[in-house]
Amino acid sequence: MSAISELYDRRAHLYERHWAPVLAPTAVRLLELAAPWLPPDGSSSAVLDVGAGTGTLTDAAARRWPAADVVGVDPSVGMLAVARRAMSDLSRPPRLVTGAAESIPLPDASVDLALSSFVLQLVPDRLSALREIRRVLRPGGHVAYVTWLDTERPFAPDDAFDEAVLDLDIDEPDEPDPARAGDVASPAAARAQLRRAGFAAAGARIETLEYEWTPESYLDYKLSYDEEELVQSLSRPQRRRLAALARGRLASLTLADFAWRAAVAFVWGRRS
């Protein structure tokens, strides 16, 4: 995870501004799924957020279960620094620890509930990460995570921006992506993988992430975050030209085109 964590270290504040709000409403839906597994206030319970990032899910868990011991683990020091500041108002702030999903720095059988949102597609080996999560869970403890479903997600604004890049006629940086597990193939595949990791009562279902962009918010996201490396490689005149080309192409779309709907997988299991 070093290459990915270094990327998130550098872009933590950009992530918090541009991407975390897109994922947040779907991520916190994990708490409703997990609610039956803990006392209402979380008393005598330990909750772990694997891949805490800027703290969206960690913060929500700490507020949902104020009597629980909540721990957030992430390999990115920069992301955890942002999370720490965001949760400074909590009377019982979560403990934030640097660590990867494949090597969680917690003792065996020390956690009652492990949560993870939009992280287990980024790890090099999801099965290894799930086995590590099982290690830190107590017998009878639960895991619940949400990630992308491996399906085509055509989105007209994305295509429009790509066309603007082509209009600019530039050579885009061509760097290999870090090795990652990738999106979940299907609910059945997710359940089978949990069982291979040693979990019982495995379940999975497809849900939908929904987010309403506007032409300007989407352009800001693309230029400032999603295509930040491309933008930084351009000269100032090229940046201005790309922004103008992209704005023009996005303006040709309807507001309905900016309603993003993406399939995600909610997956859960119990340690026997």
Label residue 99 by pLDDT band (50, 70, 90).
very high
Residue 160 in any domain: the answer is no
Sheet holding 69-74, edge to edge: 95-98, 69-74, 46-50, 111-117, 137-148, 259-271, 199-212
* Mean residue pLDDT across the chain: 95
Q: pTM above 0.85?
A: yes
CATH number (domain holding residue 127): 3.40.50.150
Q: Is the pLDDT of residue 191 over 70?
A: yes
Tokens representing residue 214 in the block: 């506007």
Give the separation between CA 177 and CA 194, rounded to whole angstroms.
26
The b/e string for 26-65 (b: 16+ C-beta within 10 A; e otherwise) is bbbbbbebbeebbeeebeebbbbbbbbbbbbbbbbbbebb
Contact (CB, 8 A) for 39 and 45: yes
Q: For the residues 241-264, what does the mean pLDDT come to?
A: 98
Based on the structure, what is the number of domains in the chain? 1
The predicted-structure confidence for 123-151, as pLDDT tens digits, reads as follows 999 999 999 999 999 999 999 999 999 99
**For the segment 15-59, what is each residue's pLDDT rounded down to a tens digit?**
999 999 999 999 999 999 999 999 999 999 999 999 999 999 999
What's the count of helices (H) and strands (E) in the chain, helices before strands?
Answer: 12, 7
Any domain includes 219: no
- Please tell me the least confidently modeled range out of 85-89, 131-135, 171-175: 171-175
Assess if residue 161 is contained within a domain. no
Rounded to whole angstroms, the Cα distance separating 21 from 33 reads: 20
Higher pLDDT, 1 or 69: 69
Residue 1 has pLDDT above 60, yes or no: no
Residue 40 in domain: yes
Q: Is residue 91 part of a domain?
A: yes
| Structural domain of 22 | 2-152+176-212+262-271
Q: Where are the alpha helices (DSSP H) in 169-221?
A: 187-196, 215-221
Cβ-contact 157, 122 below 8 angstroms: no
Domain for residue 188, yes or no? Answer: yes
- How many CB atoms lie under 10 A from the CB of residue 14? 16
The rounded distance, in Å, linking the Cα atoms of 239 and 245 is 10
User: What pLDDT shows up at residue 179?
Assistant: 82
Q: Specify the pLDDT at position 170.
A: 81
- From start to end of the chain, where are the E strands? 46-50, 69-74, 95-98, 111-117, 137-148, 199-212, 259-271
Confirm whether 127 is domain-assigned.
yes
For residues 107 and 208, give the distance between their C-alpha atoms in angstroms, rounded to a whole number. 35
Q: Is residue 265 classed as helix, strand or coil in its secondary structure? A: strand
Is residue 162, in this structure, part of any structural domain at all? no
Mean pLDDT of the region 176-190: 89
- C-alpha distances (whole Å) from 195 to each of 141, 190, 207 are 15, 9, 21
